[in-house]
């Protein structure tokens, strides 16, 4: 029964998106770009509206939008349209296959962080919404446009929050693949080359990936060793510098990273580069994914406009179809939107996106004309629509500045070459191909400038020590990689000579060594909750937690208190978020960093820890501050604090009654609920 529901839901969403694409592509005949434009505009407009007036429940809309989508699709008979839709659906199939196999939204990586970010938008209230991880706070400090989109999907189609996140991940994969296919199609006619590019984008690693088997030798043939090795292989090339370089055990590995056991070798900075393949395994629904989509969308629009001139459309406007009349204006309008979009999607790469768009306009200015009215209209409308968000976000955002990279913090040359040799090859070939394709020269010079910039400057965020450049390289290098792979890969294969094609083909194929690591992960890492797309299967496999979660979903609204023994990367707040309830405090380390290290967050964490040890001097006064509706007591709380529950119950039983969900001798799991008569007395 659930599988039928899953298939019908996916079909319903895809029909709506296909109908939207059919409508927008009548005016912008670049189908993947048209689809992205339609999606971005709808979400952006609703995002702006809800900063002034919350729209609440939206699931009454889907019958109307589905009817309009079917009507729009009925008018599209052309084969080209449906061929492009098949590419999008295959991309979605790729993404949803990953999430179907590994659907858990748990304490691993940033899964629960993403759940929290999306949960802030689920209520449909006027934004900024109350903070679901900090009672009394307002969610006005994070660029979460991508997460708003997932919440909108849930609200439109009445989906569970975890289900919506997993579906939204699949849709992002589909957008990436369809945009990559569209870009490659502008330059390449042979399908095998286009497939190579897309597969390298979605399943390929970085320059270290083909070198890792010669740098770190693994051992062990038992299941536990095979699983551990599979996980390490996926992580090693992405997080080599400063992390996995400690595990090199070959002469070649030491030649690349030095021997960490030598006394004169200093600890390396962590300098990561996350590929889409790595993120597919990781499963995070995090902001860089949205930044990749906007980058490829910009590339696709620039390639589309490279085939047209303003004068071509203006001079023959009377004989062209509506798509020809509006295509150029819409494409420039879309490029004008991108700076505003990336600012609220992944602000870390805003400088790159701005530089990217500006360099293309400079290139376009000398090679052709620019539709300034459409471009400026897109920019003005984009920033006007995000202004309500910025009016709350900007005053509370972290005060970060740009600093020069110190002499000791530059990337070691051997590591830099080992990780980025494919990028360096692509840049070099792009500069050579510039003789035949100015677009290739523009892209190669622009990306080269950005790459050099990443070695000269960094964003000075709260991280320090070995993490000084961590976030800058994580965001910037990861953004450069797919942009260069698809952009330069397409134009160099399409417009380059035999040598250029050979270099690109070999380098892209070499990256697919990482596919073996992916396959090993797929084979050896267990899938205990496969198909449970709500993401909470890891909780529901425990009968007690399943019953507790179901009860809490239907319980009265109000703040929930959960223990916070760890600062981050724990299961704390998971039950509440899946039940669509706010917590008194989520992960303290994250909340503290996002809000600029205010003392009250650390103080609250200390109070909660004291409460769960029954050591708080006035527990009822503490609970009354928020006020707390429900207190969760898990088996972990019971086992880590034997005998404390009875003492705690004696302290708070005046205002809270105990509900048991599991009892085994003296061990008990359950919740305290606020007594109704106490609420009435207030």
Domain spans, the chain: 2-207+276-521, 542-681
The pLDDT of residue 5: 94
Position 246 confidence tier, pLDDT thresholds 50, 70, 90 = confident
Q: Mind listing the pLDDT tens digit for each residue in 2-35?
A: 899 999 999 999 999 999 999 999 999 999 999 9
Element (H, E) at 71: helix 62-74
Sign of CA dihedral 467, 480, 366, 437: positive
Mean pLDDT over each residue of the chain, to the nearest integer: 92
Strand order through the sheet with 628-633: 559-561, 628-633, 667-674, 656-664
Residue 268 has pLDDT above 90, yes or no: no
- For residue 398, pLDDT over 70 is answered with no
Of 48-57, 81-90, 262-271, where does mean pLDDT reach its minimum?
A: 262-271
Q: Which of 111, 168, 116 is nearest to 139 (CA)?
A: 116
Residue 464 has pLDDT above 90, yes or no: no
For residues 617 and 611, give the distance between their C-alpha atoms in angstroms, rounded to a whole number. 9
- Of 560, 567, 568, nearest to 584 by C-alpha is 560
- 628-633 vs 559-561, strand pairing mode: parallel
397 and 375 Cβ atoms separated by less than 8 Å: no
- pLDDT score for 677: 60
Share of the chain above pLDDT 70, in %: 94
Q: Which helix or strand (DSSP H or E) is residue 403 part of?
A: strand 401-404
323: pLDDT strictly greater than 80: no
Show the 3-state SS of 521-583.
HHHHCCCCCCCCCCCCHHHHCCHHHHHHHHHHHHCCCCEEECCCCCCCCCCCCHHHHHCCCCE
At 239 the pLDDT is 92
Q: How many CA atoms lie within 13 A of 401 on its CB side?
A: 2
Rounded Cα gap, residues 325 and 320, in angstroms: 6
Instruction: Answer for the pair 605, 563: CB distance below 8 angstroms, yes or no.
Output: no
Tell me the average pLDDT across 609-631: 95
- Between CA 523 and CA 273 the distance in angstroms is 24
DSSP state letters, 274-335:
--HHHHHHH----HHHHHHHHHHHHHHHHHHHTT--HHHHHHTGGGS-HHHHHHHHHHHHHH
Mean pLDDT of 587-615: 94
Residue located via tokens 């595990």: 247
Q: Which residues contact 516 (CB under 8 A, 6 or more apart)?
A: none
**332 falls in which pLDDT band (50, 70, 90)?**
very high
* Other Cβ atoms within 10 Å of 585 Cβ, number: 24
Could you report the per-residue pLDDT of 226-244, keeping only the tens digit for each?
Answer: 999 999 999 999 999 888 9
Whole-angstrom Cα distance, residue 81 to residue 331?
Answer: 18
Is residue 478 pLDDT above 80, yes or no? yes
The pTM of the full predicted model, rounded to 2 decimals, is: 0.94
Distance CA 297, CA 305 (A): 12
Nearest to 46 by CA among 145, 189, 114, 131: 145
Closest to 50 measured CA to CA, from 389, 342, 347, 340? 389
Give the bridge partners for 549, in sequence order. Answer: none
């Amino acid at each position: 029964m659930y599988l039928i529901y899953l298939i019908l839901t996916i079909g319903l969403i895809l029909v709506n998106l296909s109908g939207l694409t059919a409508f927008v592509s009548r005016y912008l005949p670049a189908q993947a770009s048209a689809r992205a434009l339609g999606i971005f505009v709808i979400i952006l407009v609703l995002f702006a509206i809800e900063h002034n007036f919350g729209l609440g429940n939206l699931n009454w809309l889907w019958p109307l939008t589905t009817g309009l989508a079917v009507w729009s699709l009925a008018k599209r008979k052309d084969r080209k349209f449906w061929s492009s839709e098949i590419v999008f659906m295959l991309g979605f199939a790729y993404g949803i296959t990953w999430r179907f196999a590994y659907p858990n939204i748990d304490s691993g990586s940033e899964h629960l962080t993403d759940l929290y970010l999306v949960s802030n938008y689920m209520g449909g209230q006027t934004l900024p919404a109350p903070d679901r991880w900090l009672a009394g706070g307002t969610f006005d400090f994070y660029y979460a446009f991508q997460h708003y989109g997932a919440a909108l999907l849930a609200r439109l189609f009445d989906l569970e929050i975890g289900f919506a996140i997993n579906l939204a991940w699949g849709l992002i994969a589909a957008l990436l693949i369809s945009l990559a296919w569209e870009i490659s199609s502008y330059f390449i006619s042979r399908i095998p080359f286009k497939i190579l590019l897309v597969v390298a984008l979605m399943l390929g690693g970085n320059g270290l990936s083909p070198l890792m088997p010669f740098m770190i030798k693994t051992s062990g043939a038992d299941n536990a060793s095979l699983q551990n090795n599979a996980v390490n292989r996926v992580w090693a090339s992405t997080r080599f510098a400063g992390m996995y370089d400690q595990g090199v055990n070959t002469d070649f590995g030491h030649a690349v990273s030095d021997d960490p056991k030598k006394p004169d070798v200093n600890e390396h900075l962590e300098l990561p580069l996350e590929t889409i393949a790595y993120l597919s395994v990781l499963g995070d629904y995090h902001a860089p994914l949205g930044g990749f989509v906007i980058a490829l969308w910009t590339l696709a629009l620039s390639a589309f406009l490279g085939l047209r001139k303003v004068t071509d459309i203006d001079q023959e406007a009377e004989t062209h179809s509506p798509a020809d009349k509006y295509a150029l204006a819409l494409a420039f309008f879309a490029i004008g939107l991108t700076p505003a979009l990336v600012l609220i999607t992944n602000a870390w790469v805003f400088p790159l996106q701005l530089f990217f768009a500006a360099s293309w306009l400079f290139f376009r200015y000398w090679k052709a004309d620019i539709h300034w009215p459409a471009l400026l209209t897109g920019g003005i409308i984009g920033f006007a629509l995000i202004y309500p968000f910025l009016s709350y976000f900007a005053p509370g955002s972290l005060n970060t500045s740009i600093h020069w990279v110190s002499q000791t913090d530059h990337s070691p040359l051997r590591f830099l070459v080992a990780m980025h040799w494919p990028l360096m090859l692509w840049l070099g070939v792009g500069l050579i191909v510039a003789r035949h394709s100015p677009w290739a020269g523009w892209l190669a010079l622009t990306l080269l400038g950005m790459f050099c910039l990443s070695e000269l400057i960094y964003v000075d965020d709260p991280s320090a020590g070995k993490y000084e450049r961590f976030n800058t390289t994580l965001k910037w290098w990861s953004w450069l990689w797919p942009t260069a792979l698809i952009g330069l890969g397409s134009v160099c294969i399409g417009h380059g000579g035999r040598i250029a094609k050979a270099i690109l083909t070999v380098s892209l194929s070499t990256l697919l060594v990482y596919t073996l690591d992916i396959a090993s992960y797929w084979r050896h890492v267990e899938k205990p909750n496969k198909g449970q797309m709500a993401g909470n299967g890891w909780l529901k496999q425990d009968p007690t937690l399943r019953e507790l979660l179901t009860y809490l979903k239907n319980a009265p609204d109000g703040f929930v208190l959960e223990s916070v023994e760890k600062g981050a990367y724990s299961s704390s707040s998971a039950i509440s978020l899946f039940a669509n309830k706010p917590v008194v405090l989520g992960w303290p380390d994250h909340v503290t960093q996002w809000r600029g290290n205010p003392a009250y967050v650390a103080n609250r964490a200390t109070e909660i820890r004291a409460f769960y040890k029954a050591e708080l001097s006035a527990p009822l006064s503490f609970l009354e501050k928020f006020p707390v509706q429900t207190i969760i007591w898990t088996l972990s709380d019971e086992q880590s604090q034997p005998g404390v529950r009875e003492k705690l119950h004696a302290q708070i039983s005046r205002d809270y009654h105990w509900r048991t969900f599991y009892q085994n001798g003296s061990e008990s799991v359950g919740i305290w609920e606020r007594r109704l008569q106490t609420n009435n007395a207030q």
